[in-house]
């Protein structure tokens, strides 16, 4: 998260808890780059299942619909395939694609989570290591 303090005088910017004082642009760019890299990635394109239900009859009306799965990704290692619908991650319900992104943003790397998804109308359970 990038936050500008709004103080008058010397600008103070906070990036994921790291403070950058003044116009130290190289340090600021380094922290912003690191902030995006530190987040664990699923390795799959996802969309709201509700928006995909008309195109793909029979999928659940809520959850995160899996479009593409990147080879070698955490999603592939967990067994996800295109057409699956993620319904829970880490014991938390998934109602839409944004829920997956929100849950992942707070997870550290190498964390193992439970994963529930629906494939061909059947619930499946797996572990996923981010």
Q: What is the pLDDT of residues 58-99, one digit of tens each?
A: 899 899 999 999 999 999 999 999 999 999 998 999 999 999
Residue 3 pLDDT grade (very low, low, confident, very high; cuts 50, 70, 90): low
Q: What percentage of the chain has pLDDT greater than the value 90?
A: 45
Q: Shortest CA distance to 84 belongs to which of 41, 50, 49, 54?
A: 49
Burial group, residue 26, by CB count within 10 angstroms (0-12, 13-18, 19+): exposed
Average pLDDT, the chain: 81
With beta carbons less than 8 A apart as the criterion, state whether 94 and 64 touch.
Answer: yes
Comparison of pLDDT for 63 and 102, the residue scoring more: 63
CATH number of 44-129: 2.30.42.10
Question: CA 69 to CA 82: how far, in whole Å?
Answer: 6
Q: In the chain, what are the domain boundaries?
A: 2-37, 44-129
pLDDT at 102: 86
Give the residue-averaged pLDDT of 2-14.
56
pLDDT at 93: 95
pLDDT at 33: 65
| pTM for this predicted structure | 0.70
84-120: b (≥16 Cβ within 10 Å) or e = bbbbbbbeeebbbbebbeebbeeeeeeeebebbbbee
């Amino acid at each position: 998260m990038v936050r500008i303090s709004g103080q008058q005088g010397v600008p103070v910017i906070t990036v994921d808890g790291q403070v950058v004082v003044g116009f130290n642009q190289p340090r600021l760019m380094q922290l912003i780059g690191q902030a995006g890299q530190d987040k664990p990635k699923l390795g799959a394109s996802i969309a709201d299942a509700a928006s995909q239900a008309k195109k793909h009859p029979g999928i659940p009306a809520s959850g995160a619909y899996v479009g593409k799965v990147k080879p070698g990704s955490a999603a592939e290692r967990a067994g996800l395939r295109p057409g699956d619908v993620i319904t829970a991650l880490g014991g938390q319900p998934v109602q839409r694609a944004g829920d997956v992104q929100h849950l992942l943003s707070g997870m550290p790397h190498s964390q193992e989570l439970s994963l529930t998804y629906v494939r061909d109308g059947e619930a499946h359970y797996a572990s996923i290591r981010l």
